A and B are shown apart, each in its own frame.
Chain A
């Protein structure tokens, strides 16, 4: 079973996302929560990195965190899946290890 990687920091403020992308094995899923969700938007300085990440990893983002921050769920990078809290729990139970990039 693969590791679920969780990123909760903005890609413009910290290097958590970069470290995650550098050290996560191919095919292991990445879940963006809290300020980590700012990486989902199109046309940002992080969009190219996310686009590349999507060719190696399934990427999820927590819908409530987008809504809280005023990020339009209809205008995110293609291929990123939005999950609610139930989906968050499901992802954590489907993987026997979690890596939180604090």
Chain B
């Protein structure tokens, strides 16, 4: 079966609803079936990638560290909309570092997160076969 290009669009903050956690689970399942997976973080979705999330005080599961497993599932295309970051006073330095090992480049460790403009993200959306929204 030819693999399809799957885009997961994440627009919700991480702990106020179950969307973010469910999205991450579906992404990992999709990646296990060796599909071509791309993630986009837009609007409050950018908050999912903030560093230093500690949910001990609210009695909820902290799924943020699970994002670091994405590289091992060959999910290396993570796009964050610059406009969404700026509106929230955030920059790439506020986000957790996510990396993958590039098999075409002697397994060099590379950044998975790319901050892109709205126009660039619009092109990325256009290139997909399947788009799933969370």
Contact = CB atoms under 8 A, between A and B. Distances in A.
Task: Verify that A and B bind, or say they do not.
Answer: yes
Interface of A: 8-10, 12-13, 34-35, 38, 41-45, 47, 63-65, 67-72
B51 A70 contact: yes
Interface of B, secondary structure class, is: loop
Given A8-B16, A35-B15, A35-B16, A71 B58 contact: no
Interface residues of B, number: 23
B47 A69 contact: yes
Contacts, number: 67
B55 interface: yes
Interface string B77-108: 00000000001110000000000000000000
Contact of B15 (A12, A44, A68): A68
A41 B54 CA distance: 17
Nearest to A8: B16
B95 to A, nearest CB: 10
